[in-house]
Structure 1
Protein backbone atom coordinates (compact mmCIF):
# COMPACT_ATOMS: atom_id res chain seq x y z
CA UNK A 1 0.00 0.00 0.00
CA UNK A 2 2.78 2.41 0.96
CA UNK A 3 4.71 1.52 -2.21
CA UNK A 4 1.61 2.26 -4.32
CA UNK A 5 1.22 5.69 -2.71
CA UNK A 6 4.89 6.50 -3.32
CA UNK A 7 4.58 5.52 -6.99
CA UNK A 8 1.38 7.55 -7.28
CA UNK A 9 3.16 10.61 -5.83
CA UNK A 10 6.09 10.09 -8.21
CA UNK A 11 3.68 9.94 -11.15
CA UNK A 12 2.17 13.23 -10.03
CA UNK A 13 5.63 14.82 -9.86
CA UNK A 14 6.38 13.68 -13.42
CA UNK A 15 2.99 14.90 -14.64
CA UNK A 16 3.52 18.33 -13.09
CA UNK A 17 6.97 18.61 -14.68
CA UNK A 18 5.59 17.83 -18.12
CA UNK A 19 2.76 20.32 -17.62
CA UNK A 20 5.24 23.10 -16.76
CA UNK A 21 7.45 22.24 -19.75
CA UNK A 22 4.47 22.13 -22.08
CA UNK A 23 3.28 25.56 -20.95
CA UNK A 24 6.82 26.96 -21.28
CA UNK A 25 6.46 27.27 -25.07
CA UNK A 26 3.44 29.52 -24.57
CA UNK A 27 5.18 31.72 -22.00
CA UNK A 28 8.27 32.01 -24.19
CA UNK A 29 6.15 32.94 -27.21
CA UNK A 30 4.31 35.60 -25.17
CA UNK A 31 7.53 37.35 -24.08
CA UNK A 32 9.34 37.20 -27.44
CA UNK A 33 7.20 40.11 -28.68
CA UNK A 34 9.25 42.39 -26.41
CA UNK A 35 12.59 40.66 -25.82
CA UNK A 36 15.13 39.01 -28.09
CA UNK A 37 15.77 35.30 -27.34
CA UNK A 38 19.07 35.92 -25.49
CA UNK A 39 17.67 38.57 -23.15
CA UNK A 40 14.71 36.33 -22.38
CA UNK A 41 17.04 33.44 -21.54
CA UNK A 42 19.32 35.57 -19.36
CA UNK A 43 16.33 36.62 -17.25
CA UNK A 44 14.95 33.10 -17.17
CA UNK A 45 18.24 31.47 -16.16
CA UNK A 46 18.98 34.24 -13.65
CA UNK A 47 15.61 33.83 -11.93
CA UNK A 48 15.93 30.04 -12.05
CA UNK A 49 19.47 29.99 -10.62
CA UNK A 50 18.47 32.35 -7.79
CA UNK A 51 15.43 30.24 -6.95
CA UNK A 52 17.47 27.02 -6.94
CA UNK A 53 20.16 28.65 -4.80
CA UNK A 54 17.53 29.56 -2.20
CA UNK A 55 16.32 25.94 -2.24
CA UNK A 56 19.87 24.66 -1.78
CA UNK A 57 20.42 26.98 1.18
CA UNK A 58 17.11 26.03 2.79
CA UNK A 59 17.84 22.34 2.33
CA UNK A 60 21.46 22.86 3.45
CA UNK A 61 22.92 21.15 0.42
CA UNK A 62 26.67 21.67 -0.04
CA UNK A 63 27.57 23.81 -3.05
CA UNK A 64 31.10 22.46 -3.45
CA UNK A 65 31.52 19.84 -6.18
CA UNK A 66 34.43 17.55 -7.13
CA UNK A 67 36.70 19.01 -9.81
CA UNK A 68 36.24 15.94 -12.01
CA UNK A 69 32.57 16.83 -12.54
CA UNK A 70 33.16 20.42 -13.66
CA UNK A 71 33.89 19.53 -17.33
CA UNK A 72 30.81 17.28 -17.33
CA UNK A 73 28.58 20.06 -16.01
CA UNK A 74 29.98 22.56 -18.51
CA UNK A 75 29.32 20.25 -21.48
CA UNK A 76 25.83 19.36 -20.24
CA UNK A 77 25.08 22.99 -19.47
CA UNK A 78 26.10 24.07 -22.98
CA UNK A 79 24.07 21.34 -24.71
CA UNK A 80 21.06 20.89 -22.45
CA UNK A 81 20.59 24.49 -21.33
CA UNK A 82 22.34 27.07 -23.52
CA UNK A 83 22.16 25.56 -27.03
CA UNK A 84 18.82 23.85 -26.47
CA UNK A 85 17.00 26.90 -25.15
CA UNK A 86 18.52 29.31 -27.69
CA UNK A 87 17.40 27.08 -30.57
CA UNK A 88 13.88 26.75 -29.19
CA UNK A 89 13.47 30.45 -28.40
CA UNK A 90 14.67 31.36 -31.90
CA UNK A 91 12.31 28.82 -33.48
CA UNK A 92 9.35 30.30 -31.58
CA UNK A 93 9.92 33.61 -33.35
CA UNK A 94 8.40 32.08 -36.48
CA UNK A 95 6.20 29.12 -35.47
CA UNK A 96 3.23 28.60 -33.17
CA UNK A 97 3.71 27.38 -29.61
CA UNK A 98 1.32 24.46 -30.22
CA UNK A 99 3.33 23.29 -33.26
CA UNK A 100 6.52 23.46 -31.19
CA UNK A 101 4.87 21.29 -28.54
CA UNK A 102 3.96 18.62 -31.07
CA UNK A 103 7.41 18.54 -32.67
CA UNK A 104 9.28 18.33 -29.35
CA UNK A 105 7.55 14.99 -28.68
CA UNK A 106 9.63 13.62 -31.59
CA UNK A 107 12.76 13.75 -29.41
CA UNK A 108 12.58 10.13 -28.14
CA UNK A 109 12.94 8.90 -31.73
CA UNK A 110 16.34 10.56 -32.03
CA UNK A 111 17.21 9.18 -28.59
CA UNK A 112 16.52 5.64 -29.80
CA UNK A 113 18.65 6.15 -32.93
CA UNK A 114 21.58 7.49 -30.90
CA UNK A 115 21.17 4.70 -28.34
CA UNK A 116 21.56 2.11 -31.11
CA UNK A 117 24.90 3.60 -32.18
CA UNK A 118 26.36 4.68 -28.83
CA UNK A 119 24.64 2.55 -26.18
CA UNK A 120 24.49 -0.61 -28.36
CA UNK A 121 20.72 -0.99 -28.02
CA UNK A 122 18.97 -3.20 -30.59
CA UNK A 123 16.90 -1.86 -33.50
CA UNK A 124 13.68 -3.83 -34.01
CA UNK A 125 11.01 -3.85 -36.71
CA UNK A 126 8.59 -2.24 -34.24
CA UNK A 127 11.02 0.60 -33.52
CA UNK A 128 11.66 1.20 -37.20
CA UNK A 129 7.92 1.22 -37.92
CA UNK A 130 7.35 3.69 -35.10
CA UNK A 131 10.03 6.02 -36.51
CA UNK A 132 8.32 6.03 -39.92
CA UNK A 133 4.96 6.81 -38.31
CA UNK A 134 6.46 9.64 -36.21
CA UNK A 135 8.20 11.15 -39.26
CA UNK A 136 4.87 11.19 -41.13
CA UNK A 137 3.37 13.05 -38.15
CA UNK A 138 6.17 15.65 -38.19
CA UNK A 139 5.62 16.22 -41.92
CA UNK A 140 1.91 16.80 -41.31
CA UNK A 141 2.60 19.32 -38.54
CA UNK A 142 5.23 21.24 -40.50
CA UNK A 143 3.10 21.48 -43.66
CA UNK A 144 -0.22 22.30 -41.98
CA UNK A 145 0.18 26.05 -42.48
CA UNK A 146 -0.71 27.14 -46.01
CA UNK A 147 0.27 30.80 -45.75
CA UNK A 148 2.71 30.92 -48.67
CA UNK A 149 4.01 34.40 -47.81
CA UNK A 150 5.44 33.05 -44.57
CA UNK A 151 6.56 29.69 -45.90
CA UNK A 152 10.32 30.35 -45.72
CA UNK A 153 10.38 31.65 -42.14
CA UNK A 154 8.02 28.96 -40.92
CA UNK A 155 10.16 26.24 -42.51
CA UNK A 156 13.24 27.64 -40.77
CA UNK A 157 11.40 27.64 -37.44
CA UNK A 158 10.31 24.05 -37.88
CA UNK A 159 13.82 22.98 -38.82
CA UNK A 160 15.21 24.67 -35.71
CA UNK A 161 12.64 22.93 -33.51
CA UNK A 162 13.48 19.55 -35.05
CA UNK A 163 17.17 20.35 -34.49
CA UNK A 164 16.36 21.03 -30.83
CA UNK A 165 14.87 17.54 -30.50
CA UNK A 166 18.10 16.06 -31.88
CA UNK A 167 20.14 18.21 -29.51
CA UNK A 168 18.02 17.05 -26.55
CA UNK A 169 18.52 13.42 -27.57
CA UNK A 170 22.31 13.94 -27.67
CA UNK A 171 22.16 15.58 -24.26
CA UNK A 172 20.04 12.75 -22.82
CA UNK A 173 22.37 10.00 -24.06
CA UNK A 174 25.42 11.92 -22.83
CA UNK A 175 23.85 12.49 -19.41
CA UNK A 176 23.20 8.76 -19.10
CA UNK A 177 26.80 7.91 -19.96
CA UNK A 178 28.46 10.45 -17.64
CA UNK A 179 26.81 9.21 -14.41
CA UNK A 180 27.35 12.35 -12.33
CA UNK A 181 27.16 11.33 -8.68
CA UNK A 182 25.69 14.55 -7.28
CA UNK A 183 22.23 15.52 -5.91
CA UNK A 184 19.94 16.42 -8.79
CA UNK A 185 19.16 19.79 -7.23
CA UNK A 186 22.86 20.69 -7.19
CA UNK A 187 23.31 19.60 -10.83
CA UNK A 188 20.27 21.60 -11.92
CA UNK A 189 21.52 24.71 -10.12
CA UNK A 190 24.93 24.64 -11.79
CA UNK A 191 23.47 23.95 -15.23
CA UNK A 192 21.11 26.90 -14.82
CA UNK A 193 24.02 29.04 -13.63
CA UNK A 194 26.05 28.00 -16.70
CA UNK A 195 23.13 28.98 -18.93
CA UNK A 196 22.95 32.39 -17.25
CA UNK A 197 26.72 32.92 -17.61
CA UNK A 198 26.83 31.95 -21.29
CA UNK A 199 23.88 34.11 -22.36
CA UNK A 200 24.84 37.27 -20.42
CA UNK A 201 27.45 38.46 -23.01
CA UNK A 202 24.74 38.36 -25.70
CA UNK A 203 22.49 40.53 -23.53
CA UNK A 204 25.32 43.07 -23.25
CA UNK A 205 25.94 42.97 -27.01
CA UNK A 206 22.25 43.43 -27.86
CA UNK A 207 21.64 45.95 -25.05
CA UNK A 208 18.75 43.79 -23.97
CA UNK A 209 18.15 45.79 -20.81
CA UNK A 210 16.73 48.64 -22.90
CA UNK A 211 13.49 46.69 -23.49
CA UNK A 212 12.99 45.55 -19.90
CA UNK A 213 11.16 48.73 -18.74
CA UNK A 214 8.55 48.11 -21.46
CA UNK A 215 7.58 44.69 -20.09
CA UNK A 216 4.05 44.49 -18.70
CA UNK A 217 3.10 42.78 -15.45
CA UNK A 218 1.77 39.84 -17.45
CA UNK A 219 5.07 39.45 -19.30
CA UNK A 220 7.03 39.59 -16.04
CA UNK A 221 4.69 36.91 -14.71
CA UNK A 222 5.59 34.74 -17.72
CA UNK A 223 9.29 35.28 -16.99
CA UNK A 224 8.86 34.36 -13.33
CA UNK A 225 7.00 31.23 -14.38
CA UNK A 226 9.79 30.28 -16.81
CA UNK A 227 12.48 30.87 -14.21
CA UNK A 228 10.90 29.39 -11.10
CA UNK A 229 8.60 26.65 -12.36
CA UNK A 230 10.15 25.62 -15.70
CA UNK A 231 13.89 25.96 -14.94
CA UNK A 232 13.52 25.18 -11.23
CA UNK A 233 10.53 23.20 -9.99
CA UNK A 234 10.01 21.10 -13.15
CA UNK A 235 13.58 19.75 -13.17
CA UNK A 236 13.43 19.19 -9.43
CA UNK A 237 10.12 17.27 -9.60
CA UNK A 238 11.38 15.27 -12.58
CA UNK A 239 14.34 14.16 -10.46
CA UNK A 240 12.02 13.27 -7.55
CA UNK A 241 10.00 11.07 -9.91
CA UNK A 242 13.19 9.36 -11.10
CA UNK A 243 14.09 8.53 -7.49
CA UNK A 244 11.06 6.18 -7.36
CA UNK A 245 10.27 5.14 -10.93
CA UNK A 246 12.58 3.80 -13.60
CA UNK A 247 13.75 6.23 -16.26
CA UNK A 248 11.72 4.45 -18.94
CA UNK A 249 8.61 4.70 -16.78
CA UNK A 250 9.07 8.42 -16.21
CA UNK A 251 9.87 9.14 -19.86
CA UNK A 252 6.40 8.06 -21.00
CA UNK A 253 4.99 11.27 -19.53
CA UNK A 254 6.76 13.18 -22.33
CA UNK A 255 3.88 12.09 -24.56
CA UNK A 256 1.56 14.44 -22.64
CA UNK A 257 3.72 17.55 -23.08
CA UNK A 258 2.21 18.73 -26.40
CA UNK A 259 -1.29 18.42 -24.93
CA UNK A 260 -0.38 20.95 -22.22
CA UNK A 261 1.13 23.23 -24.87
CA UNK A 262 -1.90 23.04 -27.15
CA UNK A 263 -4.47 23.77 -24.43
CA UNK A 264 -2.47 26.68 -23.01
CA UNK A 265 -1.75 28.16 -26.47
CA UNK A 266 -5.46 28.17 -27.27
CA UNK A 267 -6.41 29.74 -23.92
CA UNK A 268 -3.63 32.34 -23.57
CA UNK A 269 -2.43 33.05 -27.12
CA UNK A 270 -5.74 32.42 -28.92
CA UNK A 271 -3.96 30.22 -31.42
CA UNK A 272 -6.22 28.65 -34.03
CA UNK A 273 -6.88 24.94 -33.94
CA UNK A 274 -5.55 23.40 -37.16
CA UNK A 275 -7.03 19.89 -37.53
CA UNK A 276 -4.17 18.64 -39.73
CA UNK A 277 -1.62 19.85 -37.16
CA UNK A 278 -3.46 18.06 -34.34
CA UNK A 279 -3.70 14.89 -36.46
CA UNK A 280 0.03 15.11 -37.16
CA UNK A 281 0.76 15.57 -33.46
CA UNK A 282 -1.29 12.52 -32.51
CA UNK A 283 0.53 10.48 -35.18
CA UNK A 284 3.90 11.65 -33.76
CA UNK A 285 2.92 10.46 -30.29
CA UNK A 286 1.67 7.10 -31.62
CA UNK A 287 4.95 6.64 -33.50
CA UNK A 288 7.03 7.52 -30.44
CA UNK A 289 5.04 5.10 -28.28
CA UNK A 290 5.68 2.36 -30.86
CA UNK A 291 9.40 3.21 -30.94
CA UNK A 292 9.68 2.91 -27.17
CA UNK A 293 7.15 0.07 -26.80
CA UNK A 294 5.65 1.86 -23.81
CA UNK A 295 1.86 1.84 -24.36
CA UNK A 296 1.01 -0.34 -21.36
CA UNK A 297 3.65 1.38 -19.23
CA UNK A 298 2.18 4.75 -20.19
CA UNK A 299 -1.31 3.70 -19.10
CA UNK A 300 -0.08 1.97 -15.94
CA UNK A 301 1.79 4.97 -14.50
CA UNK A 302 -0.78 7.67 -15.12
CA UNK A 303 -2.00 9.04 -11.76
CA UNK A 304 -5.58 8.15 -12.75
CA UNK A 305 -4.52 4.78 -14.22
CA UNK A 306 -6.65 1.63 -14.31
CA UNK A 307 -5.29 -0.55 -11.51
CA UNK A 308 -6.18 -3.68 -13.46
CA UNK A 309 -3.58 -2.97 -16.20
Structure 2
Protein backbone atom coordinates (compact mmCIF):
# COMPACT_ATOMS: atom_id res chain seq x y z
CA UNK A 1 0.00 0.00 0.00
CA UNK A 2 1.43 3.38 -1.01
CA UNK A 3 1.75 6.29 1.42
CA UNK A 4 -0.83 8.23 -0.60
CA UNK A 5 -3.36 5.40 -0.22
CA UNK A 6 -2.68 5.21 3.51
CA UNK A 7 -3.23 8.94 3.82
CA UNK A 8 -6.51 8.83 1.94
CA UNK A 9 -7.74 5.93 4.09
CA UNK A 10 -6.86 7.76 7.31
CA UNK A 11 -8.59 10.91 6.02
CA UNK A 12 -11.68 8.85 5.15
CA UNK A 13 -11.63 7.40 8.68
CA UNK A 14 -11.57 10.93 10.13
CA UNK A 15 -14.46 12.08 7.93
CA UNK A 16 -16.46 8.96 8.85
CA UNK A 17 -15.90 9.49 12.57
CA UNK A 18 -16.89 13.16 12.38
CA UNK A 19 -19.86 12.42 10.13
CA UNK A 20 -21.14 9.80 12.56
CA UNK A 21 -20.37 11.85 15.65
CA UNK A 22 -23.10 14.46 15.08
CA UNK A 23 -25.77 11.76 15.10
CA UNK A 24 -24.32 9.96 18.12
CA UNK A 25 -24.22 13.26 20.01
CA UNK A 26 -27.92 13.78 19.25
CA UNK A 27 -28.69 10.30 20.59
CA UNK A 28 -26.60 10.95 23.71
CA UNK A 29 -28.87 13.89 24.62
CA UNK A 30 -31.54 11.34 25.52
CA UNK A 31 -29.26 10.19 28.34
CA UNK A 32 -26.98 13.11 29.29
CA UNK A 33 -27.00 16.91 29.21
CA UNK A 34 -24.71 18.77 26.72
CA UNK A 35 -22.16 19.96 29.28
CA UNK A 36 -21.69 16.49 30.75
CA UNK A 37 -21.12 15.06 27.27
CA UNK A 38 -18.53 17.72 26.42
CA UNK A 39 -16.72 17.27 29.75
CA UNK A 40 -16.61 13.50 29.28
CA UNK A 41 -15.16 13.72 25.77
CA UNK A 42 -12.31 15.96 26.90
CA UNK A 43 -11.71 14.15 30.19
CA UNK A 44 -11.46 10.72 28.55
CA UNK A 45 -9.11 11.97 25.83
CA UNK A 46 -6.92 13.81 28.37
CA UNK A 47 -6.76 10.80 30.71
CA UNK A 48 -5.74 8.48 27.89
CA UNK A 49 -2.93 10.80 26.75
CA UNK A 50 -1.80 11.38 30.34
CA UNK A 51 -1.45 7.65 30.99
CA UNK A 52 0.16 7.02 27.61
CA UNK A 53 2.79 9.75 28.07
CA UNK A 54 3.46 8.63 31.64
CA UNK A 55 4.48 5.22 30.28
CA UNK A 56 5.99 6.04 26.88
CA UNK A 57 7.13 9.69 26.96
CA UNK A 58 7.33 11.09 30.52
CA UNK A 59 9.20 14.15 29.25
CA UNK A 60 6.06 15.31 27.43
CA UNK A 61 4.33 15.85 30.79
CA UNK A 62 6.59 18.81 31.63
CA UNK A 63 4.29 21.08 29.64
CA UNK A 64 1.51 20.50 32.20
CA UNK A 65 3.49 22.40 34.86
CA UNK A 66 3.70 25.64 32.87
CA UNK A 67 1.74 25.61 29.62
CA UNK A 68 2.09 28.67 27.36
CA UNK A 69 -0.68 31.25 27.67
CA UNK A 70 -1.51 30.91 23.96
CA UNK A 71 -1.99 27.17 24.45
CA UNK A 72 -4.33 27.72 27.40
CA UNK A 73 -6.34 30.19 25.31
CA UNK A 74 -6.46 27.67 22.45
CA UNK A 75 -7.82 25.09 24.89
CA UNK A 76 -10.55 27.48 26.05
CA UNK A 77 -11.53 28.20 22.45
CA UNK A 78 -11.64 24.49 21.61
CA UNK A 79 -13.88 23.98 24.62
CA UNK A 80 -16.25 26.68 23.30
CA UNK A 81 -16.17 25.00 19.89
CA UNK A 82 -17.23 21.66 21.37
CA UNK A 83 -20.13 23.07 23.39
CA UNK A 84 -21.21 25.23 20.44
CA UNK A 85 -21.36 22.16 18.22
CA UNK A 86 -23.10 20.15 20.94
CA UNK A 87 -25.76 22.79 21.57
CA UNK A 88 -26.22 23.15 17.81
CA UNK A 89 -27.00 19.44 17.59
CA UNK A 90 -29.33 19.82 20.60
CA UNK A 91 -31.40 22.68 19.18
CA UNK A 92 -31.22 22.16 15.40
CA UNK A 93 -30.21 18.54 14.80
CA UNK A 94 -27.15 16.86 13.21
CA UNK A 95 -27.83 17.92 9.60
CA UNK A 96 -28.16 21.66 10.24
CA UNK A 97 -25.16 21.65 12.58
CA UNK A 98 -22.91 19.88 10.09
CA UNK A 99 -23.76 22.40 7.37
CA UNK A 100 -23.58 25.59 9.44
CA UNK A 101 -20.34 24.59 11.22
CA UNK A 102 -18.59 24.98 7.85
CA UNK A 103 -18.45 28.68 8.78
CA UNK A 104 -15.32 27.70 10.76
CA UNK A 105 -13.07 26.69 7.83
CA UNK A 106 -14.42 29.60 5.78
CA UNK A 107 -13.61 32.09 8.54
CA UNK A 108 -10.14 30.57 8.87
CA UNK A 109 -9.58 31.04 5.14
CA UNK A 110 -10.79 34.63 5.41
CA UNK A 111 -8.48 35.20 8.38
CA UNK A 112 -5.54 34.02 6.29
CA UNK A 113 -6.42 36.53 3.59
CA UNK A 114 -6.99 39.49 5.93
CA UNK A 115 -4.28 38.97 8.56
CA UNK A 116 -1.68 36.65 7.03
CA UNK A 117 -1.78 38.40 3.65
CA UNK A 118 -2.59 35.24 1.71
CA UNK A 119 -3.55 35.85 -1.90
CA UNK A 120 -7.18 35.48 -2.90
CA UNK A 121 -7.80 34.21 -6.40
CA UNK A 122 -10.94 34.73 -8.42
CA UNK A 123 -11.80 31.07 -7.82
CA UNK A 124 -11.52 31.43 -4.02
CA UNK A 125 -13.60 34.61 -4.11
CA UNK A 126 -16.25 32.75 -6.06
CA UNK A 127 -16.14 30.04 -3.42
CA UNK A 128 -16.92 32.51 -0.63
CA UNK A 129 -19.89 33.85 -2.62
CA UNK A 130 -21.23 30.35 -3.37
CA UNK A 131 -20.87 29.28 0.27
CA UNK A 132 -22.62 32.41 1.56
CA UNK A 133 -25.47 31.84 -0.91
CA UNK A 134 -25.69 28.23 0.20
CA UNK A 135 -25.82 29.17 3.90
CA UNK A 136 -28.66 31.64 3.24
CA UNK A 137 -30.60 29.22 1.06
CA UNK A 138 -30.21 26.33 3.53
CA UNK A 139 -31.16 28.51 6.53
CA UNK A 140 -34.37 29.83 4.96
CA UNK A 141 -35.34 26.32 3.91
CA UNK A 142 -35.05 25.25 7.55
CA UNK A 143 -37.20 28.21 8.59
CA UNK A 144 -39.92 27.06 6.22
CA UNK A 145 -39.69 23.54 7.61
CA UNK A 146 -40.35 24.90 11.11
CA UNK A 147 -43.49 26.68 9.93
CA UNK A 148 -42.76 30.14 11.28
CA UNK A 149 -41.32 29.10 14.69
CA UNK A 150 -37.65 29.96 14.32
CA UNK A 151 -36.72 30.42 17.99
CA UNK A 152 -34.94 27.09 18.49
CA UNK A 153 -33.32 27.24 15.05
CA UNK A 154 -31.97 30.74 15.70
CA UNK A 155 -30.69 29.77 19.14
CA UNK A 156 -29.00 26.67 17.71
CA UNK A 157 -27.44 28.63 14.86
CA UNK A 158 -26.05 31.20 17.32
CA UNK A 159 -24.40 28.38 19.28
CA UNK A 160 -23.00 26.90 16.06
CA UNK A 161 -21.61 30.27 14.96
CA UNK A 162 -19.95 30.74 18.35
CA UNK A 163 -18.44 27.27 18.07
CA UNK A 164 -17.28 27.85 14.49
CA UNK A 165 -15.62 31.18 15.26
CA UNK A 166 -14.02 29.75 18.40
CA UNK A 167 -12.59 26.96 16.24
CA UNK A 168 -11.10 29.58 13.92
CA UNK A 169 -9.29 31.20 16.84
CA UNK A 170 -8.11 27.80 18.08
CA UNK A 171 -6.84 26.88 14.60
CA UNK A 172 -4.86 30.12 14.25
CA UNK A 173 -3.24 29.66 17.68
CA UNK A 174 -2.56 25.98 16.96
CA UNK A 175 -0.88 26.92 13.69
CA UNK A 176 1.47 29.21 15.64
CA UNK A 177 2.13 26.80 18.51
CA UNK A 178 2.87 23.74 16.38
CA UNK A 179 6.02 25.45 15.08
CA UNK A 180 7.72 25.08 18.47
CA UNK A 181 5.75 22.43 20.40
CA UNK A 182 5.08 18.80 19.38
CA UNK A 183 1.43 18.29 18.42
CA UNK A 184 1.05 15.48 20.98
CA UNK A 185 1.97 17.86 23.81
CA UNK A 186 -0.37 20.50 22.41
CA UNK A 187 -3.25 18.00 22.41
CA UNK A 188 -2.61 17.10 26.04
CA UNK A 189 -3.25 20.70 27.12
CA UNK A 190 -6.01 21.22 24.55
CA UNK A 191 -7.93 18.34 26.15
CA UNK A 192 -6.99 19.16 29.73
CA UNK A 193 -8.01 22.83 29.80
CA UNK A 194 -11.64 22.28 28.65
CA UNK A 195 -11.93 19.25 30.95
CA UNK A 196 -11.19 21.58 33.88
CA UNK A 197 -13.37 24.32 32.40
CA UNK A 198 -16.49 22.14 32.35
CA UNK A 199 -16.06 20.48 35.77
CA UNK A 200 -18.54 22.88 37.44
CA UNK A 201 -21.12 22.27 34.71
CA UNK A 202 -20.93 18.48 34.36
CA UNK A 203 -23.50 16.26 36.08
CA UNK A 204 -21.27 13.69 37.77
CA UNK A 205 -24.18 12.11 39.63
CA UNK A 206 -25.62 11.12 36.24
CA UNK A 207 -22.33 9.55 35.15
CA UNK A 208 -22.17 7.56 38.38
CA UNK A 209 -25.57 6.02 37.65
CA UNK A 210 -24.66 4.68 34.20
CA UNK A 211 -25.77 1.04 34.20
CA UNK A 212 -26.94 0.10 30.69
CA UNK A 213 -24.87 -1.08 27.75
CA UNK A 214 -26.33 1.67 25.54
CA UNK A 215 -24.98 4.37 27.87
CA UNK A 216 -21.59 2.68 28.18
CA UNK A 217 -21.21 2.33 24.39
CA UNK A 218 -22.21 5.96 23.89
CA UNK A 219 -19.66 7.21 26.42
CA UNK A 220 -16.86 5.07 25.01
CA UNK A 221 -17.63 6.12 21.44
CA UNK A 222 -17.84 9.82 22.23
CA UNK A 223 -14.60 9.83 24.20
CA UNK A 224 -12.78 7.56 21.76
CA UNK A 225 -13.98 9.55 18.78
CA UNK A 226 -11.93 12.58 19.84
CA UNK A 227 -8.74 10.53 20.07
CA UNK A 228 -9.34 8.38 16.99
CA UNK A 229 -10.45 11.19 14.67
CA UNK A 230 -7.58 13.52 15.47
CA UNK A 231 -5.10 10.64 15.50
CA UNK A 232 -6.25 9.52 12.05
CA UNK A 233 -6.10 13.13 10.84
CA UNK A 234 -2.47 13.46 11.97
CA UNK A 235 -1.55 10.23 10.16
CA UNK A 236 -3.42 11.35 7.03
CA UNK A 237 -1.40 14.57 6.93
CA UNK A 238 1.77 12.54 7.46
CA UNK A 239 1.20 10.28 4.46
CA UNK A 240 -0.43 12.52 1.84
CA UNK A 241 -0.92 16.13 0.76
CA UNK A 242 -2.95 18.49 2.95
CA UNK A 243 -5.24 19.55 0.10
CA UNK A 244 -6.33 15.94 -0.48
CA UNK A 245 -6.99 15.48 3.22
CA UNK A 246 -8.95 18.75 3.38
CA UNK A 247 -11.15 17.73 0.45
CA UNK A 248 -12.13 14.48 2.15
CA UNK A 249 -12.79 15.81 5.65
CA UNK A 250 -14.63 18.92 4.44
CA UNK A 251 -17.34 16.76 2.87
CA UNK A 252 -17.98 14.82 6.11
CA UNK A 253 -21.52 16.34 6.30
CA UNK A 254 -22.41 14.11 3.34
CA UNK A 255 -21.82 11.10 5.60
CA UNK A 256 -24.16 12.62 8.19
CA UNK A 257 -26.86 13.20 5.55
CA UNK A 258 -26.54 9.64 4.22
CA UNK A 259 -26.90 8.17 7.70
CA UNK A 260 -29.86 10.44 8.41
CA UNK A 261 -31.59 9.29 5.22
CA UNK A 262 -30.94 5.67 6.17
CA UNK A 263 -32.50 6.26 9.59
CA UNK A 264 -35.55 7.89 7.99
CA UNK A 265 -35.86 5.02 5.50
CA UNK A 266 -35.71 2.39 8.28
CA UNK A 267 -38.25 4.40 10.33
CA UNK A 268 -36.29 4.25 13.58
CA UNK A 269 -38.43 4.89 16.66
CA UNK A 270 -35.67 5.55 19.21
CA UNK A 271 -34.32 8.67 17.53
CA UNK A 272 -36.25 11.62 16.13
CA UNK A 273 -34.89 12.31 12.63
CA UNK A 274 -36.14 15.57 11.09
CA UNK A 275 -36.58 15.19 7.30
CA UNK A 276 -34.43 17.28 4.96
CA UNK A 277 -36.09 18.34 1.71
CA UNK A 278 -34.48 18.47 -1.72
CA UNK A 279 -33.98 22.26 -1.65
CA UNK A 280 -32.17 22.01 1.68
CA UNK A 281 -29.84 19.45 0.13
CA UNK A 282 -29.19 21.92 -2.68
CA UNK A 283 -28.25 24.61 -0.15
CA UNK A 284 -25.97 22.18 1.70
CA UNK A 285 -24.28 21.21 -1.57
CA UNK A 286 -23.64 24.88 -2.38
CA UNK A 287 -22.05 25.35 1.05
CA UNK A 288 -19.71 22.39 0.56
CA UNK A 289 -18.69 23.37 -2.97
CA UNK A 290 -18.14 26.95 -1.90
CA UNK A 291 -16.10 25.86 1.13
CA UNK A 292 -13.86 23.63 -0.99
CA UNK A 293 -13.22 26.50 -3.38
CA UNK A 294 -12.73 29.13 -0.68
CA UNK A 295 -10.21 27.18 1.41
CA UNK A 296 -8.20 26.45 -1.70
CA UNK A 297 -8.79 22.70 -1.91
CA UNK A 298 -10.13 22.99 -5.47
CA UNK A 299 -7.77 24.96 -7.68
CA UNK A 300 -7.77 26.09 -11.27
CA UNK A 301 -5.88 24.06 -13.85
CA UNK A 302 -3.09 26.63 -14.03
CA UNK A 303 -2.54 26.52 -10.26
CA UNK A 304 -2.57 22.72 -10.27
CA UNK A 305 0.08 22.52 -12.97
CA UNK A 306 2.23 25.06 -11.17
CA UNK A 307 2.11 22.96 -8.03
CA UNK A 308 3.14 19.81 -9.87
CA UNK A 309 6.32 21.51 -11.08
TM-score, normalized by length of structure 1?
0.83
Partner of 2:112: 115
Contact 1:95–1:158, Cα closer than 8 Å, also in 2: yes
For the aligned residue pairs, the C-alpha RMSD in angstroms reads: 2.5
Query: C-alpha distance in 2, partners of 1:178/1:57?
Result: 22
Query: C-alpha distance in 1, partners of 2:204/2:141?
Result: 34
87 and 165 in structure 1: CA distance in 2 versus 1, 3 angstrom threshold: same
Partner of 2:152: 153
Shift of 1:181: 3.1
Unaligned runs of 5+ in 2: 264-270, 301-309
Partner of 2:217: 221
Superposition pairs for residues 35-74 of structure 1, below 5 Å?
35-57=32-54, 59-60=56-57, 62-66=59-63, 69-74=67-72
Q: For each residue in 1:71-104, what CA deviation from the matched residue of structure 2 results, as whole angstroms up to 9, or x when unmatched?
A: 2321111112x11111111222210101211222
Query: C-alpha distance in 2, partners of 1:171/1:218?
Result: 33
| Number of residue equivalences | 289
Shift of 1:29: 1.0
More displaced stretch, 30-39 vs 130-139: 30-39
TM-score, normalized by length of structure 2?
0.83
Query: C-alpha distance in 2, partners of 1:279/1:51?
Result: 41
Query: C-alpha distance in 1, partners of 2:7/2:235?
Result: 7
114 and 258 in structure 1: CA distance in 2 versus 1, 3 angstrom threshold: same
Contact 1:114–1:170, Cα closer than 8 Å, also in 2: no
Partner of 2:289: 286
Shift of 1:253: 2.0
Query: C-alpha distance in 2, partners of 1:103/1:212?
Result: 34
Shift of 1:106: 3.5
Contact 2:83–2:163, Cα closer than 8 Å, also in 1: no
Shift of 1:254: 2.5
Query: C-alpha distance in 1, partners of 2:9/2:59?
Result: 28
Contact 2:127–2:290, Cα closer than 8 Å, also in 1: yes
